[in-house]
């Protein structure tokens, strides 16, 4: 579904991504892990059209995304949940949620979609008329994920969903993403700093460090965590990116 090849992004004289290549199959859950500043957020932003690449190709169902406007990329069925829980604080939970439908021309199912998502996130239903700025961090994360899903995307990209949240809330968010993936046939691409939860959540993992992919493998082949730890902390930076035999 998604193919990224030789992607390079720079901010001024600073290189954020240097020849990154990843792929995501339809209905797959793929995670990109790495330390802070590795380039994970830049990768998702480039796919969503928010950052212009210096070079490289990004294809979605064979369609080239580089040079396309962000709103047109969204209309293809790609939705990004950015890091930082960007809610409209003065608007209610209801108003925030339905903003997600403005990116699509077909709003026939908006009400039923909202009711389904409230079933997964009952806290939002309890706070339906409250300003989003009064929600807790976990509730705001639930809201921005639900808002992204209101566009009926095929590919959902989530940037650091666990950042600053209690483990119980994080478990709820990931369980909901997996349930929605099964029910709606979603494809998931998630950025995280921690690899432990990703080994349970995803089929494949990429380890990104200093703008380069240092490891790519099936999670089934990486369960001991040793290879991920080496790549995460840079022990393998002077070698070619490691790839598990099964993933290759």
Residues 185-196: tens digit of each pLDDT:
999 999 988 777
Q: Let me know: does 99 contact 107? Beta carbons within 8 Å.
A: no
Give per-residue pLDDT as tens, 4-47: 999 999 998 899 999 999 999 999 999 999 998 999 999 999 99
Give Cα 111 to chain centroid, integer Å.
Answer: 25
Longest dimension (CA), the chain: 54
Separation CA 225–CA 159 (nearest Å): 22
Give per-residue pLDDT as tens, 90-106: 999 999 998 867 655 45
Q: Let me know: does 26 contact 71? Beta carbons within 8 Å.
A: no
Length of the chain: 248
Give Cα 113 to chain centroid, integer Å.
Answer: 20
Helix pair 110-120, 137-149: axis angle to 10 deg: 150
User: Which one has a higher pLDDT value, 193 or 3?
Assistant: 3
Quick one: which of 140, 131, 144 has its CA closest to 90? 131
Structural domains of the chain, with CATH: 1-77+189-248 (3.40.50.300)
**Alpha helix positions (H), 49-162:** 70-75, 93-99, 110-120, 122-126, 137-149
Which residue bears the tokens 């979605």? Answer: 60
Cβ-based neighbour number of residue 136 at 10 Å: 13
Instruction: Quickly state the pLDDT bin for 200 (edges 50, 70, 90).
Output: confident
Separation CA 178–CA 198 (nearest Å): 12
Burial code (b: 16+ CB inside 10 Å, e: under 16) for 153-171 equals bbbbbbbbbbbebeeebbe
The pTM of the whole model exceeds 0.85: yes
């Amino acid at each position: 579904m998604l193919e990224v090849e030789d992607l390079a992004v720079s901010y001024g004289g600073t290189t954020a991504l240097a020849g990154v290549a990843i792929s995501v199959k339809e209905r797959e859950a793929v995670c990109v892990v790495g330390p802070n500043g590795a380039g994970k957020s830049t990768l998702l932003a480039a796919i969503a059209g928010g950052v212009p690449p210096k070079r490289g190709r990004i294809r979605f169902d064979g369609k080239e995304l580089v040079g396309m406007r962000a709103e047109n990329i969204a209309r293809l069925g790609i939705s990004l949940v950015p890091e930082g829980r960007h809610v409209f604080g003065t608007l209610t939970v209801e108003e925030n949620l339905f903003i997600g439908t403005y990116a699509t021309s077909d709003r026939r199912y908006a009400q039923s979609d909202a009711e389904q998502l409230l079933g997964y996130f009952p806290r939002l239903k309890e706070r339906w008329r409250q300003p989003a700025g009064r929600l807790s961090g976990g509730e705001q994360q639930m809201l921005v994920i639900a808002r992204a899903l209101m566009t009926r995307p095929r590919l959902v990209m989530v940037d650091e969903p666990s950042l600053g949240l209690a483990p119980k809330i994080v478990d709820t968010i990931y369980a909901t993403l997996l349930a929605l993936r099964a029910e709606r046939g979603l494809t998931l691409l998630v950025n995280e700093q921690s690899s432990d939860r990703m080994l349970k959540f995803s089929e494949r993992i990429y380890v990104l460090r200093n703008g380069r992919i240092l490891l790519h493998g099936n999670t089934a082949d990486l369960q001991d965590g040793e290879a991920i730890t080496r790549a995460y902390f840079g022990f393998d930076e002077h070698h070619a990116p490691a790839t598990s035999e099964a993933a290759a």
